[in-house]
Amino acid sequence: MTLHTLHVHLTYPPDDETLAYLHSQLDKGIEITIGEVVPETAVILIAGRPTKEQLEASPKLQSLIVPWAGVPDPTRDLMANYPHITVHNLHHNAA
């Protein structure tokens, strides 16, 4: 059985403690990369305000996760040009 890797890319680095916790909770088949430059293997992009270049960097990109409440208008407008990329809004710090 071949194990496939799900490549998730964050454009903004979390602090070291948060990143260590995140890695400890991930399944083995999930790979995380971090930085402004999106690798061509990224399937999921976590960014609140992605650029056109970031969205087009990976032909495998399927989903954008906006990591706070609401999608900024510029992001909403930009994503209208990428109907094949699903947009998810994650309000992870709600009480």
Is the separation of the CB atoms in 85 and 61 below 8 Å?
Answer: yes
Q: Between 53 and 1, whose confidence is greater?
A: 53
| Residue 13 placed within a domain | yes
Model pLDDT for residues 45-92, shown as the tens digit of each residue: 999 999 999 999 999 999 999 998 889 999 999 999 999 999 999 876
| pLDDT at position 3 | 64
Apex 88 CA angle, 83 and 94, nearest 5: 160
- How many independent structural domains does the chain possess? 1
Question: Please, are residues 61 and 87 in contact by the beta-carbon 8 Å criterion?
Answer: no
Q: Look-up: residue for tokens 């602090």?
A: 15
**23 within a domain of the structure (yes/no):** yes
Instruction: Establish if 27 belongs to a structural domain.
Output: yes
Residue 46 sits in which domain range? 6-89
Mean pLDDT, range 28-35, rounded to an integer:
95
Phi-psi group of 28: left, alpha or beta (phi > 0 → left; psi -120 to 50 → alpha; rest → beta): alpha
Total Cβ atoms within 10 A of residue 66: 22
